[in-house]
Amino acid sequence: MNWRPSWLHGYNRWQAGQDGLAALIVSLMLIPQSLAYAMLAGLPPVSGLYASILPLLGYALFGSSRTLAVGPVAVVSLMTAATLGPLFAPGSAEYVGAAMLLALLSGLFLVAMAMLRLGFVANFLSHPVISGFISASGILIAVGQLKHIFGVAIGGETLWQLLPALFGQLPALHGTTLAIGAGSLLLLWWVRSYLKPCLLRCGVAPALAGDLAKAGPVLAIVVSILLVTWLQLDQAGVKVVGAVPQGLPGLRLPVLDLQLALQLLPAAVLISLVGFVESVSVAQTLAAKRRQRIEPDQELLGLGAANLVAAVSGGFPVTGGFARSVVNFEAGAQTPMAGVMTAAGIAVSVLLFTPLLHNLPQAVLAATIIVAVLGLVDLGSLKRTWHFSRADGAAQGATLGGVLLLGVENGILLGVGLSLLLFLWRTSRPHVAVVGQLPGSEHFRNVERHSVVQSPSVLSLRVDESLYFPNARYLEERIGELIAARPLVRHLVLMCSGVNLIDASALDSLEAIAERLRSAGVQLHLSEVKGPVMDQLKRSDFIECFGGQVFVSQYQAQQALDPESAQRALAR
Amino acid sequence: MNWRPSWLHGYNRWQAGQDGLAALIVSLMLIPQSLAYAMLAGLPPVSGLYASILPLLGYALFGSSRTLAVGPVAVVSLMTAATLGPLFAPGSAEYVGAAMLLALLSGLFLVAMAMLRLGFVANFLSHPVISGFISASGILIAVGQLKHIFGVAIGGETLWQLLPALFGQLPALHGTTLAIGAGSLLLLWWVRSYLKPCLLRCGVAPALAGDLAKAGPVLAIVVSILLVTWLQLDQAGVKVVGAVPQGLPGLRLPVLDLQLALQLLPAAVLISLVGFVESVSVAQTLAAKRRQRIEPDQELLGLGAANLVAAVSGGFPVTGGFARSVVNFEAGAQTPMAGVMTAAGIAVSVLLFTPLLHNLPQAVLAATIIVAVLGLVDLGSLKRTWHFSRADGAAQGATLGGVLLLGVENGILLGVGLSLLLFLWRTSRPHVAVVGQLPGSEHFRNVERHSVVQSPSVLSLRVDESLYFPNARYLEERIGELIAARPLVRHLVLMCSGVNLIDASALDSLEAIAERLRSAGVQLHLSEVKGPVMDQLKRSDFIECFGGQVFVSQYQAQQALDPESAQRALAR
């Protein structure tokens, strides 16, 4: 673990210029996103801005990616809302305090994982689970934001709850709000799909055209603020952001309510893991493009630091964001100094520009969220995964359906549980082949695929998998079955060329197998045991007690146990 | 699945004689055990007898073992007490009803597992977890039963609760009860350790000597009943079993309280899994001795049926017991008819002999439990496991400590969680070797172990593990690391001879790796992909899209990508 960033050494003017330009572009993108994700998380808009200042510094100091842009992101904001929504009134002081506590717990958990080098725990979240989770989150977020577009008030955490509530409120929809919301959706969709080709055709340089196309949200915000101010639409019932406190966040610890902390802990763990997985995959993708490296344990530390400072500066859980990191990278960011400069940009905005945001309609923020998250929904991926592997497809489908219908936490736990179950099922039945001697050679092959010579008194089995607890019992059953069908057999040779590991469960199984075979008048032997596996077996008394021999090769085993058959096969 | 037992066909007189003898001996053993385990489970003694009648018939009809003896067992009784103790007053009608409901849930769960062929789920309980759990249960049970030996009243589910309560009550101990309890313990211990050699020296036949030595509990019971009756010790405050209802259990469903059922479900699942694992390992050990076979899914059905009939006949959760199955086997039982006859024996006892049990002291039952369960405690196993493998030892130690200090359910969940975590950790870092060409051959070997020829522009990696979600991310990191250190490399060949499976997570990783390599100017290729893995890859668009080639052998890859280096190595 290293807290002294290597990039600081030899930082030069060219890098500073590049970082500064990237920071300017990312800041412009981050302001509307921060406001929108704070609204999604059920927090006052200023919390989003606070979460985009100090956390960026925290990550810059400890993270290992040079171009990752940290801050509030859609999925983590949804998880924050799903955790705190049932407990407190959104936007209340208790809610804000609990969000800070959630960030604190998340930060502590991430730092603890870094210290214990537990980054591998994120492997519990397999790709199909993550993918199903993100698609479902996108749908849930988009449906949840429709209330701001329609100008109605509904609550709910699952499709079951959201859709009926939304339809029930349709008669009460607010026309002007709908006009603004739908207009923003159309504008954002047009900018996203058509602005760049349009600008290119007009002769604008590609890089500039790309940046302008990403400025759609800023455009929508400026236009809508002007419109609301000019027509005094806030007087006509269009909900606006309202007064945003001016000035930097004060540093203060969240209220340390131990009982609440225990209640929030499972959600904090899940938020941390999901955020970490998302962030690391973005960071790795970007780092590889410049042949740089990401250290997962260092990333844990960086994200942990970001969340800890979010917790003491009025923020909420943050992580690395995909879209803004790509913009940062493409705008030429060279070092985490770009993050520091972005933080400075947001800080200046909070100091100077928040009064300008008063008349920003909530419907416009909702529209920017909807357009952003619909890009996350990839239902085709479910079909591809199912086609590739039924087991993975089932895990992805269960996560998707689970998140939509049972809520965020239950859905992800369902997916993780199912993928562990399917994984056990898959590895619980390793390939075990009966082998015989290839005529005229010392090689042993699967009797079902080759025409080989088998000895009547010696049964040879090849196991194509490490022996550990998921498959220990299966081996016992399989051998029992094979022996029960072959009354003449007196020796069983286990060919271990494919065995990379034997754990304690498998050792017990081997002992049980040896004993059961012995009581049935059959002796167990091993052959072709790899060095490390043999070292491990020697740490138990198995080798002394099992009564059989360990042969270097399967042919030697055959020669020792049934020399006649071995010679006959060799001579053919 | 088969419900028509194959052994019924051709059942003969010799088998009937053998089965009858075994049934007589097992019945004698089962009566005190049934009373004792019912007391351990917090139920009236007669519940234990009821649980030893119909469940034996249920198993005989559907189970696949010919010699397994089913009934109440120590560990499952402890789990029943731990589940119901905090909810109801032991021995009350609600408690009895809840125990029946628990057996119903357990039976339904086992039958559902059988129908869905989910026997492999028991693999979640690795051997170290089971072993730690059983040792800890033995200690907990023994300490818990001391209250009956001392004649005091205490409660508690963990060592934290039991030990202080016991010491606190010591001043109140009941002398006569202690004398009877300690006397029984001594008698049972002497019978267990010295009676058999003693009888052998006196010229008794070994088989009979063994059976007599196992009749210790019956001896203790008869002697103590006579003593209590003669000296009227029940008047002197020695707690006795009291009136045991005479007659067979009436058939009735437990009260179907849905909320209670939901509350009991997790415990029922755990009880079912633990019972199944225990029972199957006993059944397999015995079946192997006669070259018979056990079908795990059929076993699930048999145990499920046993628990379902326990639920409707006033019983509680049952499973196959180790000691009584061994006695049944050694006494010569040939078919499940021995179980049917044992059930008849217990039924006759309930009809005729229960009045004789009135004066049986609880302290004697406690002594039989203590002597039986101390045989389950094997702390040496923890040391052996730790010596064999740190990871397995940690899982076993955590389960042992967890059960003793946090209770039965929490302990087992801790163990399962830790062993899954350690398993992920172990498989998350597969062996990845950089390989080079052995001079003068077409073989490729690990560069760290052999003096081989490496091409400067082609990096060849061999992965010795299937590619699936626990290690998908590690491969991305490892390749990123290797490529970052080798700026001259233009091709990366992944040698897949050790890859038996690629799941959706690994497929995503391979796609990410290919793309990241491409953006760093390196092309990914594969070599020596096994047939089934290739079939699976073809179900995605990876092969078309990754831009590289799939070579039959590593040598062909080298020849195609850097012919000069391949030829040079071959010529050396």
Where residue B477 sits, what CATH number does that domain have?
3.30.750.24
Q: Which residue, of A372, A394, A420, is where some domain finishes?
A: A420
| Token code pair at residue A350 | 């909070």
User: Is the Cβ of A531 closer than 8 Å to some Cβ of chain B?
Assistant: no
- Mean pLDDT within A247-262: 86
Give dist(CA A376, CA A369) in Å, integer. Answer: 11
**pLDDT surpasses 60 at B186:** yes
Give the pLDDT mean for B355-384: 88
A199: in domain: yes
Q: Which residue of A lies nearest to B532 if distances are taken between CA atoms?
A: A431
pLDDT at A523: 95
- Burial of residue B245 (number of CB atoms within 10 Å: 0-12, 13-18, 19+): middle
A285 touching B (Cβ < 8 Å): yes
Q: A87 pLDDT band (50/70/90 cuts)?
A: very high
**Structural domain includes residue A7:** no
User: In chain A, which residue's Cα lies nearest the Cα of B126?
Assistant: A469
Give per-residue pLDDT as tens, B394-433.
999 999 999 999 888 888 889 988 888 888 787 778 888 8
A285 shares a domain with A139 = yes
**Residues B293 and B98: beta-carbon distance below 8 Å:** no
Contact B425 A120 (CB under 8 A): yes
Please tell me which of the candidates A429, A476, A540 has its beta carbon nearest to residue B384: A540
Whether residues A383 and A458 fall in one domain: no
Nearest-CA distance B66 → chain A (Å): 15
Tell whether A440 and A336 lie within a shared domain. no
Strand partners, B459: B492
Same domain? For A385 and A514 the reply is no
Interface of B with A in 251-270 (CB under 8 A): none
Question: How far from the centroid of its chain's Cα atoms is residue B466's Cα?
Answer: 27
User: Is residue A499 in a domain?
Assistant: yes
Cα separation, B233 vs B135, in Å, equals 35
Look at B285 and A512 and tell me if their CB atoms are within 8 Å.
yes
Question: Cα(B473)–Cα(A125) distance, rounded to whole angstroms?
Answer: 11
Interchain proximity B291–A419, CB inside 8 Å: no
Looking at the structure, tell me whether residues A279 and A354 fall in a common domain. yes
- Distance (Å) from the C-alpha of residue A296 to the closest C-alpha of chain B? 9
Contact A407, A108 (CB under 8 A): no
Whether B116 has its CB under 8 Å from any CB of chain A: the answer is no
Task: Pull the structure tokens for residue B494.
Answer: 């992944």
B429: nearest CA partner in chain A: A120
Diameter of chain A measured on Cα atoms: 102
pLDDT at residue A560 greater than cutoff 60: yes
Would an 8 Å CB–CB cutoff place B194 in contact with chain A? no
C-alpha span between A148 and A151 (Å, rounded): 5
Classify A42 in phi/psi space as left (phi over 0), alpha (psi -120 to 50) or beta. Answer: left
| Cα–Cα dist B97/B85, whole Å | 13
- Taking the CA atoms of residue A561, residue A566, residue A568 and residue A569 in that order, the dihedral angle to the nearest 10 degrees is 140
Chain B interface, mutation test: which of A279, A500, A505, most B Cβ atoms within 10 Å? A505
The answer to whether B415 touches B133, Cβ cutoff 8 Å, is yes
Secondary structure of residue A220 in the 3-state scheme: helix
Residue B347 scores a pLDDT above 80:
yes
Does residue B401 share a domain with residue B538?
Answer: no
User: What does the block give as tokens for A3?
Assistant: 């807290």
Residue of A6, A126, A294, A481 best to disrupt the B interface, most CBs of B under 10 A:
A126
CA distance A509 to A511: 5
Name the amino acid, one letter, at A391: A
Task: Compute the C-alpha angle B452/B453/B454, nearest 5°.
Answer: 115
Residue of B389, B424, B483 with shortest CB distance to A123: B424
Query: Which residue in chain A has the smallest CA separation from B421?
Result: A121
Q: Radius of gyration of chain A from Cα atoms? A: 31
Within 8 A of B396 by CB-CB distance, chain A residues are 504
Three-state DSSP class for residue B462: strand
CA distance B393 to chain A (A): 8
Q: Is the pLDDT of residue B1 over 70?
A: no
From B420, B451, B486, the end of a domain falls on: B420
Let me know whether B321 and B455 are in one domain.
no
Residues B244 and B357: beta-carbon distance below 8 Å: yes
- Does the CB of B11 have a partner CB in chain A at under 8 Å? no
Cβ contact A516–B473 (<8 Å):
no
Indicate yes or no: CB of A480 within 8 angstroms of CB of B288.
Answer: yes
For residue A384, CA distances in Å to A550, B540, B556 come to 46, 7, 32
Same domain membership, residue A222 and residue A276: yes
Residues B386 and B475 in one domain: no
Q: How many Å apart are CA B160 and CA B29, to the nearest integer?
A: 33
Give residue A306's pLDDT: 96
Rounded to an integer, the average pLDDT of A564-572 is: 85
Same domain, A221 and A313: yes
Q: Is B500 on the interface with A (CB under 8 A)?
A: yes
pLDDT at A26 over 60: yes
**In the predicted model, is pLDDT for residue B5 greater than 80?**
no
Cβ-Cβ contacts under 8 Å between A and B: the total is 178
Residue B293 Cα, gap to closest chain A Cα (Å): 7
Q: How confident is the model at residue A1 (pLDDT cuts 50, 70, 90)?
A: very low
Model confidence pLDDT, tens digit, residues B19-56? 998 898 888 888 888 998 999 999 999 999 999 999 99
Residue A57 has pLDDT above 60, yes or no: yes
Q: Where are the beta strands (DSSP E) in A130-213?
A: none
Is the CB of A6 inside 8 Å of chain B's CB atoms?
A: no
d(CA A333, CA A16): 9
Which of A481, A503, A515 has its CB closest to that of B389? Answer: A503
Token couple for B455: 């091409």
Q: Which of B6, B400, B427, B466 to mutate to test the interface with A (most CBs of A within 10 A)?
A: B427
CA diameter of chain B? 102
> Does B429 touch chain A if contact means CB atoms closer than 8 Å?
yes
Alpha-carbon gap: B291 to the closest alpha carbon of chain A (Å): 5
Per-residue model confidence as pLDDT tens digits over A192-232: 888 888 888 888 888 777 777 777 788 888 899 999 999 98
How many residues appear in chain B?
572
Q: Which of residues 431-490 of B touch A (CB under 8 A)?
A: 431, 464-465, 468-474, 476-477, 480-481, 483-484, 487
What DSSP string runs through B54-73? HHHHHHHHH-S-SS--EE--
What is residue A119's predicted lDDT score, i.e. its pLDDT? 81
- Is A535 near chain B, with CB under 8 Å? no
Residue at B4 is within a domain:
no
Name chain B contacts of A484, Cβ cutoff 8 Å.
Answer: 291-293
Domain contains A6: no
Closest B-chain CA to A297: B477
How many angstroms separate the CA atoms of B302 and B299, rounded? 5
Whether residue B506 contacts residue B473, with contact meaning beta carbons closer than 8 Å, is answered with no
C-beta atoms of A424 and B471 within 8 A: no
Contact B469 A419 (CB under 8 A): yes
Res A470 pLDDT > 70: yes
Domain tally, chain A: 2
CB contact under 8 A, B474 and A288: no
Task: Choose the mutation target among B64, B117, B125, B127 for the interface with A, i.e. most A CBs under 10 Å.
Answer: B127
Q: What is the pLDDT of residues B130-166, one digit of tens each?
A: 889 889 988 988 998 898 999 888 877 888 888 999 8
Contact A325, A68 (CB under 8 A): yes
Is residue A278 one of the residues assigned to a domain?
Answer: yes
Tokens encoding B417: 């969680």
Does residue A68 belong to any structural domain of this protein? yes
- Of the three residues A420, A453, A488, the one that is the final residue of a domain is A420
B-chain residues within 8 Å CB-CB of A422? none
Q: Which two tokens stand for residue A556?
A: 């030697």
Q: What is the pLDDT of residues A489-516, one digit of tens each?
A: 999 999 987 787 888 889 988 998 998 8
Would you tell me how many other CB atoms lie within 10 Å of the CB of residue A396? 31
Q: Vertex B143, ends B137 and B146: CA angle to 5°?
A: 140
Strands A550-551 and B319-320: unpaired
Q: How many residues in chain A?
A: 572
What are the helix (H) ranges across A195-336?
Answer: 196-201, 206-213, 216-231, 258-289, 296-312, 322-330
Does B509 contact A127 at a Cβ distance shorter than 8 Å?
Answer: yes
Mean pLDDT for chain B overall? 88
CA distance to partner chain B, nearest, from residue A108 (Å): 20
Residue for token digits 């034996």? Answer: B56
d(C-alpha A481, C-alpha B288), whole Å: 10
Out of A472, A481, A512, the one facing B293 most closely (by C-beta) is A481
3-class SS of residue A68 = coil
**Amino acid (1-letter code) at residue B249:** P
Specify whether A246 is located in the same domain as A385.
yes
**Tokens describing residue A226:** 């002007």
Structural domain includes residue B427: no
Parallel/antiparallel/unpaired status of strands B432-437 and B444-446: antiparallel
If we measure between CA atoms, which residue out of B121, B30, B84 comes closest to residue B316?
Answer: B84
Secondary structure (DSSP) of A396-437? HHHHHHHHHHH-HHHHHHHHHHHHHHHHHHHHTS--EEEEEE
Contacts of A122 in chain B (CB under 8 A): 473
Q: How far is CA B81 from the centre of its chain?
A: 19
Percent of chain B with pLDDT over 70: 99
Task: Provide the 3-class DSSP secondary structure of residue B437.
Answer: strand
Instruction: Say what the ipTM of the complex is.
Output: 0.73
Residues A259 and A319 in one domain: yes
Whole domain around residue B543: which residue ranges? 432-571
Q: How far apart are CA B393 and CA A507, in angstroms?
A: 13
